[in-house]
């Protein structure tokens, strides 16, 4: 299905029952698409309404102008999609770039988000030092000068362990192209130094693979330590795309978080109803 957002036409899929009390929305990483979460959709669709879009400019969604800040506009587009679908009790699941976008959705509409799950992401609160932007020249040079085939192969090998996951990443990176990868990589650096004005206040599951890059593992631990109501989960035998490298382990964490969140939400709703009587 397609939705005309303020940031271009978005392709999305909805699985499960519209009568489910909770909507789970997935947001993928750079160059990827809704297929990133096929194993998660299969695990959730019998109990939840599951929404899987191709982020603007990705997959089957319309190509977009990347001259403006990407994540803000993508978050607005996902908020518009949730408005269209009637999603007012939402759990957000973001992988890498998708984590950044989910944080912005939650910051803009905290009343609709019950909780969030972040895989291979970094917290936007507090903002990173602007010194992070000193990495920009080296990133531009390395991506620009590297031959495309080598870049796409390295992109896959440095983000996944399993051959099928690597093959998927190399395919989508090749389709996206070097300019797209570079633009979104630089935009993520800008996101980190701009940050969010305040902490997101809801239950959170922070995940990473046990083969994740060391600096991302450290950032995940720091995020968990500073974030109230959070849990840190390390997915074994997995890299950056841990949900594909080890779907059974990630799905176990995902389902456990959703079940606990649903139980606490029902308890809160019951207390609210009792107070109104």
Task: Give tens-digit pLDDT for 28-69.
Answer: 999 999 999 999 999 999 999 999 999 999 999 999 988 888
Q: Which residues, listed in sequence order, are joined to residue 163 by a DSSP beta bridge?
A: none
Confidence of residue 88 (pLDDT cuts 50, 70, 90): confident
- Residues β-bridged to residue 24: 50, 91
Q: What is the pLDDT of residues 249-263, one digit of tens each?
A: 999 999 999 999 988
Segment 121-132 shows an average pLDDT of: 95
Could you state, in order of their start, the residue ranges of all structural domains in the chain?
Answer: 2-127+196-276
Which H or E element spans position 133?
Answer: none
265 — pLDDT class (breaks 50, 70, 90):
low
Give every strand in the sheet of 90-95, ordered side by side: 2-5, 8-15, 49-53, 23-27, 90-95, 113-119, 204-209, 230-235
The CA–CA distances, whole Å, from 205 to 70, 130, 269 equal 24, 27, 22
At residue 61, the pLDDT reads 98
What three-state secondary structure class fits 2?
strand
Q: Are 29 and 36 contacting, i.e. CB atoms less than 8 angstroms apart?
A: yes
- Concatenating the DSSP letter of every residue in 161-176 gives SSHHHHHHHHHHHHHH
Q: Can you tell me the mean pLDDT for 190-197?
A: 95
Q: CATH number of the domain at 2-127+196-276, out of 3.40.50.1820, 3.40.50.300, 2.60.120.10, 3.40.50.2300?
A: 3.40.50.1820
In three-state form (DSSP H/G/I as H, E/B as E, the rest C), the secondary structure along 17-56 is CCCCCCEEEEECCCCCCHHHHHHHHHHHCCCCEEEEECCC
- pTM of the entire predicted model: 0.94
- The percentage of residues in the chain with a pLDDT greater than 70, rounded to a whole number, is 95
Mean pLDDT of 1-22: 95
The total of other beta-carbon atoms located within 10 Å of residue 24's CB is 27
CB contact at 8 A, 154 and 145: no
CB 17 within 8 Å of CB 228: no
Given a cut of 70, whether residue 275 has pLDDT beyond it is no
Q: Determine the straight-line distance between the first and last CA of the chain, rounded to whole angstroms.
A: 42
Q: Which of 115, 99, 103 is nearest to 261 (CA)?
A: 115
Q: Where are the alpha helices (DSSP H) in 86-133?
A: 97-108
Q: What contacts 130, CB < 8 A, 6 or more positions away?
A: 193
The secondary element (H helix, E strand) that includes residue 240 is: none
Q: Where are the alpha helices (DSSP H) in 135-246?
A: 136-145, 148-157, 163-176, 178-194, 214-226, 242-245
Residue among 40, 53, 52, 44 nearest 17 (CA): 44
pLDDT beyond 50 at 195: yes
Instruction: Reply yes or no on whether the pLDDT at 151 is more than 70.
Output: yes
């Amino acid at each position: 299905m397609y939705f005309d957002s303020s940031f271009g036409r978005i392709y999305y899929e909805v699985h499960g029952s519209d009568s489910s009390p909770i909507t789970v929305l997935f947001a993928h990483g750079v160059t990827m698409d809704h297929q990133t979460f096929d194993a998660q959709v299969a695990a959730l669709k019998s109990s939840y309404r599951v929404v899987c879009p191709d982020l603007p400019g990705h997959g089957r969604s319309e190509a977009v102008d990347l001259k403006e800040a990407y994540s803000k506009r993508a978050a607005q587009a996902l908020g518009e999609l949730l408005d269209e679908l009637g999603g007012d009790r939402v759990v957000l699941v973001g992988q890498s770039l998708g984590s950044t976008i989910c944080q912005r959705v939650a910051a803009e509409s905290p009343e609709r988000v019950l909780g969030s799950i972040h895989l291979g992401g970094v917290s936007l609160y507090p903002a990173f030092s602007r010194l992070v932007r000193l990495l920009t020249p080296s990133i531009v040079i390395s991506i620009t000068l590297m031959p495309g085939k080598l870049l796409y192969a390295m992109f896959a090998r440095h983000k996944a362990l399993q051959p099928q996951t690597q093959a998927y990443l190399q395919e989508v990176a090749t389709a996206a192209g070097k300019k797209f990868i570079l633009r979104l990589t630089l935009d993520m650096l800008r996101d980190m130094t701009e940050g969010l004005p305040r902490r997101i206040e809801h239950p959170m599951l922070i995940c990473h693979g046990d083969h994740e890059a060391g600096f991302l593992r450290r950032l995940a631990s720091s995020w968990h330590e500073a974030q109230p109501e959070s849990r840190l989960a390390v997915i074994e035998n997995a890299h950056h795309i841990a949900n594909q490298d080890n779907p059974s382990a990630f799905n176990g964490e995902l389902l456990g978080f959703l079940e606990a969140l649903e139980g606490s939400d029902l308890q809160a709703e019951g207390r609210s109803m009792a107070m109104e009587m």
